[in-house]
Amino acid sequence: MSTVRLSNVSKSFGNLRVVSDVNLEISDGEFLVLLGPSGCGKSTTLRMIAGLEETSSGDILIDEKVINDDDPKDRNIAMVFQNYALYPHMSVRKNLAFGLKMRNMKTSTIAEKVNEVADMLQLSDLMERFPAQLSGGQRQRVAMGRAMVRTPKVFLFDEPLSNLDAVLRTELRSELKKLHMQLKTTSIYVTHDQVEAMTLADRIVVMKNGKIEQIGTPKEIFHNPKTLYVAKFIGNPQMNLHEMQVKKINNSIFLTASSLSIPIPKAVINRTNTSYLKDGATISMGIRPTDIFINNAGNKKGAFKAKMILTEMLGAETLIEFGIEDLNFKAIVEDDYGISSGDLFEVGMNFEKIHIFEDTT
């Protein structure tokens, strides 16, 4: 197992800078996810670690040894690609064994390692088949097995589940998590899928335009987004965000829009940059859909009159969209209490879960 460190790593293609001054430390045995939309620089960062792209500046270190000039084959890194990259003319067994044969290992050692990984990934019954005879999920397991059989210092995953259907993605996601818990090999995983990131990661690195927006555990990223971008990107449905004005009355602070007025608890004030909370300042107020509820208990304190726009059944939960004054909100509720489109009702909010952002920063 190994540590990985990126120190001021940048990458440019001509005049286009796609990764900019990335500083990142990945601990021994950690499962780290690079998360962001297409074009944010996450795959390029992964390819620089693998040696498939040269850095324009900065250093990449494994176990505190600079590897910038090492060939990919000399970095002791195994990479799992989005398109599997299996050899079509080789059986599963030969695909798994190929990398070990290139290292001139003993035949008995190769067979032992291949059989061990095949058992782990439930590939033992498929060993004589060719890639064309396998399903997408089976091919991906072979691709993972080919990486695992080498026992590398670091695993790199470049969106390995994106070509699979939803059910297979869920199954293989669970397998990946179990494998990492078993192998404890340092792993770096690239994805645009926030569910994959949340379920797999020890820590998540959210990227935007080649830069790191925020690093943290899944809980930290979800519950304490540091920027508007992270707040919008993480969460499905995304956080409700509205532009509001700060209003100070005596020693209390409210956020207002039209005739809507939301009191801000001290807990929220304490975790917010107080320079954002000047009287009359414009900020963005955010609240997760899971922190809004239908007020069916008749509690008038903190309740808002709302008009239902639509409801969507999600199974055990319901997504509701509604208006308060001229602001639209979404909420995830366990019961819609038979409220239909156009009906008036009351909602409450968990004010302590409100987030406050200053737009320009």
The tally of domains found in the chain comes to: 2
The pLDDT assigned to 84 comes to: 79
The pLDDT assigned to 121 comes to: 85
Tokens of residue 294, six digits = 């239908």
> Which neighbouring-strand residues pair with 12?
17
Q: How far apart are CA 140 and CA 134, in angstroms?
A: 10
Give the CATH number for residue 130.
3.40.50.300
pTM, full prediction:
0.89
Find the domain containing 84 and state its range: 4-233
Residues 6+ apart with CB under 8 A from 101: 110
**Domain ends where: 233, 268, 303?**
233
**Domain ends where: 195, 213, 233?**
233
Residue type at position 206:
V
* Closest by Cα among 164, 150, 157 to 200: 157
Q: Predicted confidence band at 297 (pLDDT cuts at 50, 70, 90)?
A: low
Beta strands at 203-208 and 186-191: parallel, antiparallel or unpaired: unpaired
How does pLDDT run across 142-198, given as a tens digit for each residue?
988 888 888 899 999 999 888 778 888 888 888 888 888 888 999 999 999 999 999
Q: Are residues 195 and 165 in the same domain?
A: yes
Beta strands at 303-313 and 344-349: parallel, antiparallel or unpaired: antiparallel
Containing H/E element for 348? strand 344-349
Q: Are residues 152 and 57 in the same domain?
A: yes
**What mean pLDDT value characterizes the chain?**
91
